[in-house]
A and B are shown apart, each in its own frame.
Chain A
Amino acid sequence: DTAVSQTPKYLVTQMGNDKSIKCEQNLGHDTMYWYKQDSKKFLKIMFSYNNKELIINETVPNRFSPKSPDKAHLNLHINSLELGDSAVYFCASSPLGEWTEAFFGQGTRLTVV
């Protein structure tokens, strides 16, 4: 019974396309996140979202946007894909409150050709 699940696991697409990655969590958590792991294996926060607040890492291009249809889902939309967007994208969730850990999905490997 997967706690944080992402689909698809692999995504290959052409430059200029628009794509979405879906994320769902069944942990009842209030906050969800998107992280990007680049080719150098660094994991970096992109967004943090709960029903009150969206926090955006200032380095994230505005071609990237999170969409949350409900508390259990946070999808990542990417417009006009570029070669440099190729990476592994991880969704995560955590409960509200101080000093809580995040639970991660298995990742989506995006390849832009």
Chain B
Amino acid sequence: DQQVKQNSPSLSVQEGRISILNCDYTNSMFDYFLWYKKYPAEGPTFLISISSIKDKNEDGRFTVFLNKSAKHLSLHIVPSQPGDSAVYFCAASLNNAGNMLTFGGGTRLMVKP
């Protein structure tokens, strides 16, 4: 029973264009959402987050949007760069549950030069 889902296992984008990665969740009690980036043979690296009281958070080329009514969040990367090629994991947490993260299955992003 996956509470966090990333329905696109892979995404291919041309360098310079926008990458949009999507994530859906089912547990309405989640109050904090994060995106992690993962390269092979490395641990996940924190990218950007958003709390449930906001609907947008921006950090440089990365923007996360949260639509609570739809239980949907997305990560926008613009412009995309070849170094962005990695697996991106969406994660969610409950503040009263030790900040343990529930992860989606990941989306492999390939940015072509």
Q: Using a CB–CB distance below 8 Å, which chain A residues touch chain B? A: 4, 31, 33, 35, 40-45, 48, 50, 53, 55, 57, 90, 92, 94, 98-107
Contact = CB atoms under 8 A, between A and B. Distances in A.
A90 B43 CA distance: 7
Nearest to A48: B98
Contacts of A99: 31-32, 49, 51, 95
Q: Which of B43, B49, B51, B105 has the largest count of A CB atoms less than 10 A from its CB?
A: B43
B18 interface: no
Contacts of B46: 101-103
Interface in B45-89: 45-46, 49, 51, 87, 89
B16 interface: no
B108 to A, nearest CB: 9
B100 A33 contact: yes
A50 B36 CA distance: 23
Contact of A104 (B44, B51, B105): B44
Interface residues of B, number: 24
26 contacts: A31-B98, A33-B100, A35-B101, A41-B105, A42-B105, A43-B103, A43-B106, A44-B103, A45-B100, A45-B101, A48-B97, A48-B98, A48-B99, A55-B98, A92-B43, A98-B32, A99-B32, A99-B49, A99-B51, A99-B95, A101-B34, A101-B46, A104-B36, A104-B45, A105-B43, A107-B41
Interface of B: 31-32, 34, 36, 41-46, 49, 51, 87, 89, 95, 97-103, 105-106
Contacts of A106: 41-43
A103 B43 CA distance: 9
A96 to B, nearest CB: 8
Nearest to B42: A106
B41 to A, nearest CB: 7
A90 B103 CA distance: 13
B96 to A, nearest CB: 9
Given A31-B99, A43-B106, 12 more contacts: A33-B101, A43-B89, A43-B103, A55-B100, A57-B100, A90-B44, A98-B95, A100-B99, A101-B46, A102-B46, A104-B45, A106-B41
